[in-house]
Amino acid sequence: MALLGFVLLLGSTLFGEPAVPSFQIQSNNSELEHNLEKSAASSYRQIIQYFPGLQIGSLITIRIIDSDREFQGSLGGTAPDWGVGIAIPRQTLIIMKSPDLYDYPQKFEEVLTHEMAHLLLHYRLDHSPIPRWFDEGFAQFVSERWSFTKGVTLTTAVWSGKIPSLNDLESLNQFDRIKANLAYTISFSAFSYLFQKIGTDGFAILLNNIASTGDFHRGFQLTTGVTIETFNQYWLSSLKNKYNWSYIINDPRLVYFLFLILLIAAMISKMIRRKKILKQWEEEEKGYFDPHFPQQ
């Protein structure tokens, strides 16, 4: 493992790429362990661009486990039943359920990048406390793309008036799967809105301010000029303006979806009519050849 880390570090230095730390992969599947070394390095490079100059001075351990009991024990029994991965930044440790035994809601590599993002973000901030929406929002921002489905989720929440506040997301681990999915989508949306407003340079300044003050709220206000409460109002207003039924109606994919529905409906209708005609013909033939039918 140490040799692998040295080779990656040397190659990164020579070719100008971000230096990749050493990874210790713990898994009962040797093939998965081998693939994880490459995936972990790829995830690291994908994330580190948001933290210029950051160097991880310790080994990053990625542990693949085969039981729910061990997974729960990693968080003192507080891990949600829908979770498949967790990051423990102070230990530079990522724990993931084995993809051989558990169904993942998304690609395994995306979950790995998501958890790696948690670890590096906290490391960059010197482990200063941060709100859950910011933590989860960043992890999703760097690990996956915004999708039409997420937009529909927000549209439904806006229409029903069931948009949780950013503060409510602190208890995310206690949410059921459906509520958790909305919470993750909310976090993704809020972080994306923030990043769009402050940009890459502003994000770097924000991280510096949070790390130097050790206070997220203070660092946030120093950078943006507004409080979290005001930001929340701006973001909610933007959310309601964008994610209404026009979001779905104006999406070109809806046209194809409706066309597909109409096509399927037409095919079903045609099959039903054909079945009725065949049945009618059978009844008529039965009348002609029924032995009890009067013969001439």
Q: What would the pLDDT profile of 125-183 be if each residue is shown by its tens digit?
A: 999 999 999 999 999 999 998 888 888 889 889 888 888 889 999 999 889 999 999 99
* Segment 42-70 mean pLDDT: 90
Q: Which of 20-34, 192-206, 263-277 has the lowest mean pLDDT?
A: 263-277
pTM: 0.78
* Amino acid, res. 3: L
* Segment 219-237 mean pLDDT: 96
Predicted local distance difference test score (pLDDT) of residue 184: 95
CA distances, 25 to each of 44, 95, 129, 244 (Å): 14, 10, 28, 45
Predicted local distance difference test score (pLDDT) of residue 224: 96
Domain 1-124 is found in CATH 3.30.420: no
Residue 293 has pLDDT above 60, yes or no: no
Q: Are 193 and 238 in contact (CB under 8 A)?
A: yes
215: left (phi over 0), alpha (psi -120 to 50) or beta: beta
* Segment 8-16 mean pLDDT: 45
For the chain, the domains span 1-124, 128-247, 251-283
Q: Which residues neighbour 283 within 8 Å (Cβ) at sequence distance 6 or greater?
A: none
Count other Cβ atoms within 10 Å, centred on residue 95. Answer: 24
CA distances, 26 to each of 9, 44, 82 (Å): 21, 18, 22
Task: Kindly report the average pLDDT of the chain as a whole number.
Answer: 84
